[in-house]
């Protein structure tokens, strides 16, 4: 009777060990997928940061151009007023 129990216990252990191995392989695959996705997210964040810096530079350039234009218009208006008087 004990030999019978021992045999079945060993079979159960083997089955559970195999099941555990399968789950570990599945977990490993899922971890690999997760790592790949995290790397993609990291790259996208880097790209987003780069684009935001470029956008900031463009915005700054636009502001400087508008400011220069306003100064130029103001200068021209003053010259016109001096030339033609009011």
Q: What is the 3-state secondary structure (H, E, C) of 61-78?
A: HHHHHHHHHHHHHHHHHH
pTM equals 0.63
Tell me the residue range of the domain where 13 lies.
1-86
Q: Give the pLDDT confidence score for residue 28 in this predicted structure.
A: 98
Reduce the DSSP state of residue 85 to 3 states and report it.
coil
Q: Give the pLDDT confidence score for residue 86 in this predicted structure.
A: 59
Give, for all 86 residues of the chain, the pLDDT tens digit.
Answer: 888 899 999 999 999 999 999 999 999 999 999 999 999 999 999 999 999 999 999 999 999 999 999 999 999 998 888 888 75
Q: Give the pLDDT confidence score for residue 64 in this predicted structure.
A: 93
Backbone angles phi, psi at 28, to 5 degrees: -65, -45
Sign of CA dihedral 22, 28, 32, 34: positive
Number of domains in the chain: 1
């Amino acid at each position: 009777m004990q030999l019978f129990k021992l045999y079945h216990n060993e079979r159960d252990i083997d089955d559970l060990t195999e099941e555990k191995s399968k789950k570990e392989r599945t977990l490993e695959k899922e971890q690999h997928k997760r790592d790949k996705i995290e790397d993609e997210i990291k790259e996208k964040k880097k790209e987003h940061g780069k684009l935001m810096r470029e956008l900031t530079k463009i915005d700054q350039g636009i502001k400087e151009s508008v400011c220069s234009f306003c100064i130029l218009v103001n200068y021209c208006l003053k010259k016109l007023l001096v030339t033609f008087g009011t």
